[in-house]
């Protein structure tokens, strides 16, 4: 299902973070959202996923208005996301982190009562697919930053979202793990999942994206395939300050 916003606006005091952002991210594609620091990318993700409330404008997913829905309702509708700073439970094992991500009642619900074998097997499956099954009984605080990013993503995927928003998946990740993330995104997209990726690593963006939207000062200034974006004068001007 497509994710779209119309005239989305958000200000923090006198600072305008989103200034009439009208965007449609294409279903079934690997979309990227790029732009210089302070261009509104993470604020956009936060408004779309209900983490903060936009001042005005609309957010739709699959044609349904989700503008005022709570984060958990948006997640249940099929939109999952990661964060710039990993959101994992540091004193919980990898397995418990993944289980807690989808159990009703959050952490307490995730750890209460007998575990269902099918659910545990599915959690193990995601840990294996992301290449961190060897960390299954390791607490998150004892993992590297890149491993924590993979763990967070495993928790998101445990919810089986149709659309996944990744906020700077390459940040602080070593090249080997970055290659693993890129391959995983391509494979999951081939299986039918839509992606929207906020990222500053242009090598990653240009290599995996089908469609790129460029933000500057809280609004889109260009969009299209990588071949057009890399030579667009408006994009070069936004990044280079010309």
Do residue 167 and residue 106 come from a single domain?
A: no
Tokens describing residue 87 = 């959101």
Do residue 156 and residue 210 come from a single domain?
A: no
Do residue 31 and residue 104 come from a single domain?
A: no
pTM of the model: 0.90
Residue 181 lies in a domain: no
Confidence bin at 61 (pLDDT 50/70/90): very high
Residue-level pLDDT at 237: 82
Residue 108 scores a pLDDT above 60: no
Do residue 6 and residue 117 come from a single domain?
A: no
Confidence bin at 158 (pLDDT 50/70/90): very high
Alpha helix stretches (DSSP H) within the chain:
41-48, 71-77, 94-100, 106-111, 117-129, 145-158, 175-190, 202-208, 226-229, 233-240
Do residue 1 and residue 34 come from a single domain?
A: yes
Residue-level pLDDT at 103: 59
User: Residue 97's domain spans which residues?
Assistant: 86-160
Q: How many domains does the chain have?
A: 2
Q: What is the pLDDT of the chain when averaged over all its residues?
A: 90
Tokens describing residue 237 = 């001007």
Whole-number percent of the chain with pLDDT over 90: 76
Residue-level pLDDT at 123: 95
């Amino acid at each position: 299902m497509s994710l779209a916003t119309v005239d989305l606006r958000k200000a923090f005091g006198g600072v305008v973070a989103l200034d009439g952002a009208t965007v449609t991210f294409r279903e079934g594609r690997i979309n990227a959202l790029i732009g210089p620091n302070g261009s509104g990318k993470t604020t956009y993700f936060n408004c779309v996923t209900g983490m903060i409330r936009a001042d005005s404008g609309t957010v739709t997913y699959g044609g349904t208005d989700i503008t005022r829905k709570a984060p958990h309702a948006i997640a249940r509708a099929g939109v999952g996301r990661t964060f710039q700073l990993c959101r994992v439970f540091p004193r919980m094992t990898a397995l418990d982190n993944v289980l807690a991500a989808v159990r009703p009642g959050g952490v307490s619900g995730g750890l209460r009562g007998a575990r269902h074998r099918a659910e545990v097997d599915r959690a193990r499956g995601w840990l294996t697919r992301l290449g961190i099954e060897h960390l299954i009984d390791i607490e998150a605080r004892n993992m590297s930053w890149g491993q924590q990013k993979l763990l967070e993503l495993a928790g998101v995927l445990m919810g089986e979202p149709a659309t996944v928003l990744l906020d700077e998946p390459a940040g602080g990740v070593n090249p080997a793990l970055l290659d693993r993330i890129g391959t995983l995104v391509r494979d999951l997209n081939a299986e039918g999942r839509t992606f929207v990726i906020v990222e500053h690593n242009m090598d990653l963006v240009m290599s995996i994206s089908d469609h790129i939207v460029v933000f500057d000062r809280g609004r889109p200034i260009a969009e299209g395939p990588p071949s057009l974006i890399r030579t667009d004068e408006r994009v070069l001007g936004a990044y280079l300050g010309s």
